[in-house]
Chains A and B, each alone.
Chain A
Amino acid sequence: MELSRRSFLKSALAVSASAAFPAVWLRAREAAALEACEQGVNLVIVQLDGGNDGINTVIPLSNGTGLNRTIYDSVRPYIGVPLSELASTQIGNDPLHNGELALHPHMNCLKRLYDRGNVAVVLGTHYDNGNLSHDVSNLIWYRGDPTLSLSSGGWMGRSLDQLCLGQSNAVPAVDVSSRLSPLFFGRTPTLALQRLSDLDVPIPIALIPPSQSDQRTLFRQTLQNVYQLLSGSESFAGDWAIAGRAVLSRIDDYRTASSSEAENLNALINGASDHPIASPTRQSYGLATGLRLVFALMRGRQPGNVPLGCRIFRVGIGGFDTHSDQGNHVPLSEKPLDQKVAEDFRGELHGKLLHRVDKAIAAFWADLESVGLHRNTLIMTFTEFGRRIAENGDHNADSGTDHGTASPMFLIGPTKAEAAENGPFVAGGVYGAYPELHLPDRNGNMVYQVDFRHVYGEVMHRWLGLSIATTNAILGSGGFRYSPLDILVPA
């Protein structure tokens, strides 16, 4: 059993210890660790699906001792963002060549969080022999296994199997999707849902009348018993049983959330007017809506609210496969943001996507702050690959970028001052190294700088409290060994 799980699932333990958790959990050593961090930790994984253009997300401002800005200007004459637009979103320098860097101008909210110390940018993350297929590369990121030789489970699914060992009723994760992401594949039940109202086990129509309550109970019990019976089976029927059991064991929590709580959640998901970052189009942003649901699920565990026991979430946003019409940046002095929003960022496809990511995450962070949940919540972004260094086509509005390799990851979490007492926190700043744009591989792609598994390892070991041995067992294909990046500081 994993002994260093520390704070994980703390409040789930508090609400249902007698039913769901074996006594071994309450050994003195663990209990002490659990108390050390009052609230436990949450993790929200944000996936930028399609391959995000990292070079236009974190943009070189100057060369330093390298050549990145010079190359940037020469190979991206249309989609490149001019220097004059980047002054207000400058972040720390490239650790390798000391060139200055800036976030895309539409990422001003993340820039504010960066200045407060909440954001770590990890440059140049990818893996050996970057695969240019969306499908294969996504699989590599989902499994945390560039060789695709380890278990077919996902890196998070396998982590959850360790974190929830012995807790047969734990449902620790929610994928905000109708399709469960392979990163959750494992033996631990994970909910995939887009709306809370989705959850309602269909009862036979004939058993609805009050006179049939015994048979109704029997229906539900038979269902539950057979699912319990099969969920140990290493087969697809067993996988199906696990999925069903996740709902059957949690559904009453959701349903007894009572109508008022459901209304409360719906109001949270739909409401925007009272929000600190009110945006006219917010509700149409899938990512913002998804993060709002995550917030509702997390908040459900607050005192007085319903304990849902979910701590790990994934939310995705698609559209990053910008082969064409990637667009150029219209200076904000020529066209203010409101107008861009009203025009749906016409001619600025990638800028629109970054705007949405930026505003959705910032709004989510503000939501968390409003109830103190930012103290123990970490956001991690990833994408299956970055894009080609040079823009394609005839350097006009049709131009885009083809499949590439490295791209930056973002970790957003509490600073030391904000973190829960004795809880882990983020040391904001720029990490890794900006790939040297003048030294591409033979496909015109960047040479990556940081194995992305170090970032996963950082989250698994320093945030979720898995041991280094377990972390390496999950990520260690091809002889990989996690070495701390010191982005996250453990409790």
Chain B
Amino acid sequence: MTVKIIVCVKTNMDLQMVRIKNREPVLEAIPYKVGDLEKNALEAAIQIKEGGADATIVALTVAEANGKVKETMKEALAMGADEAVIVSDPALAATDQAAVAAAVAKAVEKVGGADLLLFGEGSTDNYSGQVGSRVAELLGVPQIGYARKISLSDAGVRVERSMDDMIETLEAPCPAAVTVVSEINEPRIPSLMNIMKAGKKPTAEFTLADLGLDAAAAATQKSVLSNLAEEQDRKHIMIEGDPEAQAAGLVDALIKEGVLGR
């Protein structure tokens, strides 16, 4: 069975490095990386390939504000994607999910479509979970969200997925769009050898114009009115002493606060 899997990747700022100053996020000079759930999606694709499918894995991204996207995407190639596709355009620097989905859908068509489109269930930074669904609608393909097991057969894709209160097993014919949850697998850490090889793998780059889209297609449909850290008013009382004294101190504090002994 020959299959083409396109893994749609968002690269996002390393959120561990975001600092807050006067409630404002300080975002200068923060490196980008492949999103956490997208690594799960890549790993899922690689495991399908390693499971015996004659699969080609394409890692596709829309650069958005990542000026070093080609460098970031080497991580996806080092993990095991066969090629990378990057949509990069100045108009995409400030955009939203609808515009990203439009670019993804056009890029998928540009590279000849796919049997399976994989996404993370949400991005590490914004977690909106919209792009996979929007792309599925744009391409007119069935979608299955929250996959924790994926298998491919001639009949299509079979997915076990984790919903709020139930586990569902679903099937859909290919092409289909599937989003994954983190428990699907443990993404591999690329070996040094594979990191070296990644630079030699093919990377195609497209602008919006290459995809038949104009700058208006990248316009955002939303306005962010504010984006500030939550205010926290906490007591910051450290309870000192040996474990016995610390335990006693905490119990006393909880009684005083009315949490215990009600």
**A joins B in a complex:** no
